[in-house]
Structure 1
């Protein structure tokens, strides 16, 4: 009996040592090749503290409530010390003084209410296993507290609301340039959701900052390809909503001239009307069945008074044939529009057939076992291949339900 127990202990010890050696070798191989490996999603990394940009207040660059803007920064190391990722936080918009007053009392309108530290994941991870291409870069998250994708300019005396998104953008970028970004040899502007729309609107502005410096500048918009689509009642929910954002925040003056020279300001808040005129290389990462757009643009409660879409919006498996056909038509519009506006071979895209929203910030969808892929290429590899010019990436998935790698949210 004692001999059996001894052998069991030895075998268990052998297994532990074997696993540790395998992990060490995998990490070493990942560091050597920068190819890394995909693994199971686990706990978040080290929390990154918030920094208040108090110097921006003198420039009038403040949140909705007048508090200073903020950012989080994880400094680069080794070869990444001279490379920067700037990530614009998302979080919808406010389209009226009333909704902005409500937003003011949250972390999306006041730096006083923001978490003082956040965890970086996905494309912002500092782990070479999770994020092989960008793990050692300077990684910065600019907090979103203006409600108009960093594009507003105005002040409402009656409510005391500051619509200063463009000033926040300017102040943050100037501050980071002074911190060392001005000498960067590679930079990537990223964002998710409303932050991804901000990437589209500011991509060329970002590129212009580095003109003549020999810096590689590119942009990545994740879950920001908001379509001017018809809802289930036959009208344009998002156009009406975006019209309110543009008017309330005074956005028109800060929109790309390549668009406003021939279209109205609200139209130029839609990425489909802006991307074609962007000169800086840009990558579009989006789910063809974007869940935010399904719930808030295609089938919002106001367009569905009988609540016929309630179950479908909660689970794709509850959608009837008519509803699924409607969603397939939306997917076709998404694919056709992306192809239409991304003709430049310098641009890239990854449009998968998943019911989700935002895929670059989380390990589970960025780079883990079972994370989404198209033709066996995961999101992290697709973005990296495009950024570093290792391969052209213009990936479009077949229609639902063909993709078994999706992480569906509904």
Structure 2
């Protein structure tokens, strides 16, 4: 299938994303075998390549039992690169080349866990972890020239198309129920591609989308500047071809989610640690020493600083009010100082995981997906009201 064209307004809303969200890795000791990486066949011929021109990859673990017809497809996060120098540098890492992609350990990692106790609704599903190597949330389609004369490929949209196409051939096309997910930059990609992904399946197939830490805010930093807009403009110039003529406009994430027809679940912290550290308090804003301490750990913030963070929370809650009119949507907005919560057992479903209404994230997401509860929209009170957040380590 040829790469689809994202509407300019939607691609621009990618620019509400950040330059380098935390990239959760699925590493660490666990009893089960790691899942090998699969490289997309014929990727170079399709132009669906990583920043360095190598084929993109994904990890597929087959489902079993009553989960053999169900699929979880997850888009990895990992920030953005906004200059040729930065993107060229990524080519020497897993974020820009499949040469560095190693097997991943799914066991013990949140929504990928194969332990029914910790992941009761999705433990035996087919699970796919799509690697992120394009630098712009699986959405760009252009190329550039590095300083050494080599080509840097911005082919995220083609990667998305090629990976999903290959998965359809491997059984995804026959799925009976599907959950399309992503975290951080991958969470934003999930929002952007949600309707396109859903449209690939017959109407009787249950397809829903789940964005973790992908709802980025357009707010001023503490110096009163929207310091990320210069970064956003660089991403536009790099990741889209001249022929696309993408205009530089602005618009909040809430306008994007208004247009999505597929049922979606939004998981976010109202005190998202990455957004506080990089949108509210970027280095360019020259935060004072007391702010640097607060930026590192919300427990170090004084009452005046907490009031500023509360304003960020209120902006997010206000922007998400558009979800209230979507009966088949859900959300879990906690007050924990964290970023990305689906990939770790400690935040997804452990006995000490964050809870809202006495339910952890795994329970709320499962209730939403399977329709076990009506109106699954949970919003936490202001920090530091929720003691279950204390079990999470500082980011």
TM-score range, shorter chain: 0.7 to 0.9
Superposed counterparts of 1:245-284, under 5 Å: 245-250=235-240, 267=250, 271-284=253-266
- 8 Å contact 1:54–1:69 — kept in the other structure? no
* Aligned position for 1:35: none
1:139 has 2:127 as partner: yes
1:275-319 C-alpha deviation (Å, 9 max, x unpaired): 111000110000110000011110011102544421111122221
Please name the residue that 1:124 is paired with.
Answer: 112
Partner-residue secondary structure (3-state), 1:105: coil
**Root mean square deviation of aligned Cα:** 2.2
Do the aligned partners of residues 359 and 253 (structure 1) sit closer, same or farther apart at CA in structure 2, a change above 3 Å counting? farther
8 Å contact from structure 2 (residues 185, 214) kept in 1: yes
Partner in structure 2 of residue 404 of structure 1 = 387
- Map Cα deviations across residues 83-111 of structure 1 (whole Å, 9 max, x no partner): 10000000011111121112222110001
CA distance in 1, matches of 2:167, 2:160: 11
Aligned residue for 2:329?
347
**Deviation (angstroms), 1:55:** 1.9
TM-score normalised per structure 1: 0.83
Which residue does the alignment assign to 1:149? 137
- 1:201 maps to which residue? 192
1:238 and 2:228 equivalent?
yes
The farther-off stretch of 122-131 and 171-180 is 122-131
Change in CA separation of 1:244 and 1:47 when aligned onto 2, cut-off 3 Å: same
Cα distance, 1:362 vs structure 2: 0.7
- Aligned counterparts of 2:377 and 2:242: Cα–Cα separation in 1: 31
Q: Displacement, 1:43?
A: 4.2
Paired with 2:189 and 2:253, the residues of 1 have a C-alpha distance of 9
Whether the aligned pair in 2 keeps the contact of 1:366 and 1:380 (CA below 8 Å) is: yes
1:140 deviates by 0.2
Give the secondary structure class of the aligned counterpart of 1:219.
Answer: strand
Pairwise CA distance, 1:119? 3.1
Q: Aligned pairs, how many?
A: 361
CA distance in 2, matches of 1:396, 1:208: 30
How far has the Cα of 1:130 moved from its partner? Answer: 1.4
Larger Rg over CA atoms: 1
Aligned partner of 1:7 in structure 2 is: none
Kept in 1, the 8 Å contact 2:276–2:295? The answer is yes
Give the Å deviation of 1:354: 0.6
Q: Determine whether 1:80 maps to 2:64.
A: no
Quick one: distance in 2 between partners of 1:253 and 1:283? 34
Within 1, Cα distance between the matches of 2:173 and 2:253?
A: 28
Unaligned runs of 5+ in 2: 1-27
Find out whether 1:378 has 2:378 as its counterpart.
no
- The within-5 A match list for 1:201-240 is 201-210=192-201, 212-240=202-230
Q: Distance in 1 between matches of 2:304 and 2:213?
A: 25
Alpha-carbon distance change, 127 to 173 in structure 1, aligned in 2, over 3 angstroms: same
Partner in structure 2 of residue 165 of structure 1: 156
Give the whole-Å Cα distance in 2 for the aligned partners of 1:194 and 1:135: 24
Relative to structure 1, the CA distance from residue 146 to residue 402 in structure 2 (aligned partners, 3 Å threshold; closer, same or farther) is same
Q: CA deviation at 1:320?
A: 2.3
* Preserved contact between residue 151 and residue 164 of structure 1 (Cα < 8 Å): yes
Provide the C-alpha distance between the structure 1 equivalents of 2:249 and 2:169, rounded to a whole number of angstroms.
Answer: 34
Q: Which runs of 5+ in 1 are unaligned?
A: 1-40
User: How many angstroms does 1:247 deviate by?
Assistant: 2.2
CA shift digits 1:25-57 (9 cap, x unpaired): xxxxxxxxxxxxxxxx99464311111113222
- Secondary structure of the equivalent of 1:191? strand
Distance in 1 of aligned mates of 2:242 and 2:215 = 19
Q: Deviation of residue 369 (structure 1)?
A: 0.8
| CA distance in 2: counterparts of 1:254 and 1:139, whole angstroms | 34
Aligned partners of 2:122, 2:261: CA distance in 1, in Å? 23
Segment drifting more, 237-246 vs 395-404: 237-246
